[in-house]
Amino acid sequence: MNYRMEHDSLGELQVPANKYWGAQTQRSYQNFLIGSEKMPKEIIQAFAILKYASAVTNEKLKLLDQKRSSAIQKVCDEILHGDLDDHFPLVVWQTGSGTQSNMNLNEVIANRGNEILGENLLHPNDHVNRSQSSNDTFPTALHISALLSIQEKLLPALDGLKETLDTLAQDNMEVIKTGRTHLQDAVPLSLGQEISGWARMLEVSKEMILDSMEKIREIALGGTAVGTGLNAHKDFPQMVAQEISKKSGYSFVTAKNKFHALTSKDQLVFVHGAIKALACDLLKIANDIRLLASGPRCGIGEITIPANEPGSSIMPGKVNPTQAEALTMVCVQVMGNDAAISFAASQGNYELNVYMPLIAYNFLQSVNLLSDAMTSFNKNCAIGIRPNLPKIEENLKKSLMLVTALNPYIGYENAAKIAKKAHAENTSLKEACLSLKLLTEKEFDEIVDPKKMVHLDENQ
């Protein structure tokens, strides 16, 4: 491999000749051989957005000439198009401020910009990083990447799954089945009603995520090193927020208090908490589906799901609920990520949180995993859910909890006698009721009607 010499404040260093990064990136690349987790691409692209916006703003404030500003903007667009992905090699496990990733961007933009210009006009610190510090750029990149990834990945995947559940709920609203609480038989409901509860979970989760996202529209950029805004023009914070909004297509505003914006990560904890709530609901939905589909002969078996792969290397013909298993594993990972993010947000000293790369990695992993898992679950499982009508009817007829409809007519204790007698003697509720002479057959049939018990007219 061919090398060139680059330098920083610590001296000279060899850098691969075919890479645009400089000495500070190379030092980090060599000094942090920890794990395989790279700085997420979403962070790199968020940095490109803020570097672009900073160049535009500095030019408008006459802090950067048009030639240098245009070169920076051009390189940032190349980064956003994915043309320079190979030039961002740093791992998550580096300095907690993300300084080396900020410098990675600065160096790549400067070196590639100088190549475009045909002369060395751009300096990583003096021009690309003008009016900025790693301490305010990384928090800003965190907020930009979080909001964009939720808007462009998570919410569309959520909407797709909810649409499927809404359709399933409507299609199965007249299918009456036994309900279950505490894993025990309960009064009936319709399959559509049951599924509508799942759909509403996703609807509420989306509402909570959207509400929480308002908090991350505030960005730290302009606070520079400790929140005072040293070396930044007084109009830079508000102007750069406007430029970031234009470039990203989403609304961002300058943080009301830059000291808070640098040192606290409470807003990201809040948003990820809403994402964790979605994971909790998805885990419950996936578990319900795989339990209702259990069998095919010795389980509940009230619904069928698509058979995607053979389920066993030894048991012929076995098929497993693999999409539910994948989704539940993702949900558990998101809950673990939430614990890591929460602990990281509680750390850091004085004016800066120094766990930001970890927060970035875990937050974006949660969004990406949930987005992919919901899309996969929807495509390969949810859209193929169908009622197993004979099994539903069989279970409904066997349910002892249909006796609950008798409470207003014969009282709780008499109804309990019927249920206990039917269970002990393995007979039907009707047979037990007639044996106890509590109602006539006509009265029993009129009262114990599962269709009347689910109140479809009131709940649709």
Q: Which residues contact 148 (CB under 8 A, 6 or more apart)?
A: 42, 46, 248, 250
- The angle subtended at Cα 159 by Cα 156 and Cα 163, nearest 5°, is 140
Rounded CA gap, 44 and 228, in Å?
25
Measured CA to CA, the distance from residue 256 to residue 243 in angstroms comes to 17
Phi and psi dihedrals of 180, rounded to 5?
A: -145, 135
Say which DSSP state 96 is in. Answer: T
Over its C-alpha atoms, the chain yields an Rg (Å, rounded) of: 30
Written as six digits, the tokens of 16 are 């691969």
Angle between helices 356-380 and 134-149 (to 10 degrees): 10
- Between the CA of residue 46 and those of 6, 15, 164, what are the distances in Å? 26, 25, 32
Q: What angle do CA 270, 274, 275 make, to 5 degrees?
A: 115
Catalytic residue selected from 9, 36, 182, 313: 182
Q: What tokens were used for 146? A: 């979080």
Backbone angles phi, psi at 95, to 5 degrees: -60, 140
User: Could you tell me the two tokens for 382?
Assistant: 């949810």
CA separation, residue 69 to residues 54, 62, 75, 117, 310 (Å):
9, 10, 10, 11, 57
Catalytic residue among 251, 312, 346, 435: 312
47 contacts: CB under 8 Å, gap ≥ 6: 79, 101, 102, 105, 137, 141
456 to 82, 174, 188, 452: CA distances (angstroms) = 53, 8, 11, 8
Q: What is the full DSSP assignment across 26-88?
A: HHHHHH----S-BPPHHHHHHHHHHHHHHHHHHHHTTSS-HHHHHHHHHHHHHHHTTTTGGG-
CA angle 71, 364, 353 (to 5 degrees): 80
The question of whether 182 is a catalytic residue gets the answer yes
Q: Which residues are annotated as catalytic?
A: 182, 312
